[in-house]
């Protein structure tokens, strides 16, 4: 059995789950790319793949992550290794674990579209609109696998089912439509329905957390990540914050081109607005 997850934190989580149930014994494999953002056109070609890598290089500029991370892994190699493992052991199955979010679902589309020859051996566990119990004993509906306690997965495993022949026909076509649309942002609208959005989609979430007072850009980033309902990664959010600065909607103090910790932000025109309000009150 080979378990597939789409978030690094879930590798250790699945290992904890496996430790609780020997029937789930197997390797845990991570698909690393975040297919919920960035260009996808012709991603199945070397040119399309390189265009995506180049986009990620741009996102990494000034980030706390090393730019060398781009190209340090290749999910295409991971898929080839999965295929080799399935060819070598005819009894093996792949279990694809998905939370109810665009990151996991886009990863599923990208992965399963390459596994049609192994129909019947590729299982999916989609925790879509399912209630779980949190650490406080309360019922909740998780969007991400890492929100679920390891012991709760022992019930979730009963949901494992083979990807159907129909899905192997229809879902790759849906993925092709998503790639051809080539929106820079994708969100989950329910089920496995992915909708493309404009690159400014998350801008209002960022602006909600910027005030008329100077704040560290990293604090705004942290608050946005914590409060937003439709999640995305910190790299994309920070690049959008810089875009808002370039557009004059946000003021900055410090060197925006260096480390994320090197600059502060506030709403543009906040001082003028406050002064105008004071004048009107006096009048």
Q: Which of 107-111, 139-143, 269-273 has the highest mean pLDDT?
A: 107-111
| DSSP per-residue string spanning the chain | -EEEESSTHHHHHHHHHHHH-GGG-SEEEE----TTBS--TTTTSHHHHHHHHHHHHHHHTTSSS-GGGTTS--HHHHHHHHHHHHHH-TT--EEEEE-SSHHHHHHHHHHHTT-GGGTTSEEEEE--S--EE-TTS-EE--SSGGGS-GGGHHHHGGG-EEPPHHHHHHHHHHHHHHHHH--SEEEE-STT-EEEE-TTTTHHHHHHT--SS-EEHHHHHHHHHHH-SS---HHHHHHHHHHHHHTTSEEEEE-TTS-GGGEEEEETTHHHHHHHHHHHHH-
- In the predicted structure, residue 270 carries a pLDDT above the cut 90: no
Class of domain 2-179: alpha beta
The confidence score (pLDDT) of residue 271 equals: 56
Model confidence over 107-131: pLDDT tens digits?
Answer: 999 999 999 999 999 999 999 888 8
The confidence score (pLDDT) of residue 155 equals: 84
Mean pLDDT of 43-66: 92
Comparing 2-179 with 203-282, is the CATH topology the same? Answer: no
- Which range is least confidently modeled, 49-58, 65-74, 114-123? 65-74
Sorted by where each begins, the domain ranges of the chain are 2-179, 203-282
Average pLDDT of the chain?
91
Model confidence over 80-98: pLDDT tens digits?
Answer: 999 999 999 999 999 999 9
Confidence class for position 220, pLDDT limits 50, 70, 90: very high
- In the predicted structure, residue 225 carries a pLDDT above the cut 50: yes
The confidence score (pLDDT) of residue 188 equals: 97
Looking at domain 203-282, its CATH architecture is Orthogonal Bundle (1.10)
Global confidence as pTM:
0.89
Model confidence over 143-175: pLDDT tens digits?
Answer: 999 999 999 888 888 889 999 999 999 999 999
């Amino acid at each position: 059995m080979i378990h597939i997850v789409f978030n690094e934190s879930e590798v250790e989580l699945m290992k904890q789950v496996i430790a609780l149930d020997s029937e789930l014994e197997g390797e845990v494999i991570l698909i690393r790319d975040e297919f919920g953002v960035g260009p996808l056109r012709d991603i199945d070609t070397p040119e399309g793949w390189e265009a995506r890598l180049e986009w990620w290089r741009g996102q990494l500029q000034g980030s706390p992550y090393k730019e060398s991370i781009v190209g340090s892994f290749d999910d295409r190699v991971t898929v080839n290794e999965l295929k080799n493992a399935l060819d070598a052991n005819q009894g093996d199955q792949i279990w694809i674990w998905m939370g109810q979010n665009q990151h996991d679902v886009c990863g599923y589309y990208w992965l399963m579209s390459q596994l049609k020859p192994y129909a019947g051996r590729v299982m999916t566990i989609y925790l879509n609109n399912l209630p779980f119990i949190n650490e406080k004993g309360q019922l909740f509906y998780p969007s991400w696998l890492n929100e679920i306690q390891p012991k709760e997965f022992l019930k979730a495993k009963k949901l494992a089912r083979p990807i159907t022949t129909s899905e192997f026909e229809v879902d790759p076509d849906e993925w092709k439509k998503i790639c051809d649309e080539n929106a820079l942002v994708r969100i989950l609208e329910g089920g496995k329905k992915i909708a493309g959005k404009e690159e400014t989609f998350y801008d209002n979430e960022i602006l909600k957390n910027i005030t008329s007072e100077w704040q560290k850009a990293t604090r705004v980033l942290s608050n946005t990540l914590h409060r937003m309902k439709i999640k995305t990664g910190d790299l994309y959010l920070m690049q959008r914050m810089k875009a808002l600065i370039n557009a004059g909607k946000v003021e900055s103090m410090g060197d925006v081109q260096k480390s994320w910790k090197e600059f502060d932000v506030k709403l543009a025109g906040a001082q003028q607005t406050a002064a105008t309000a004071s004048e009107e009150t006096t009048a």
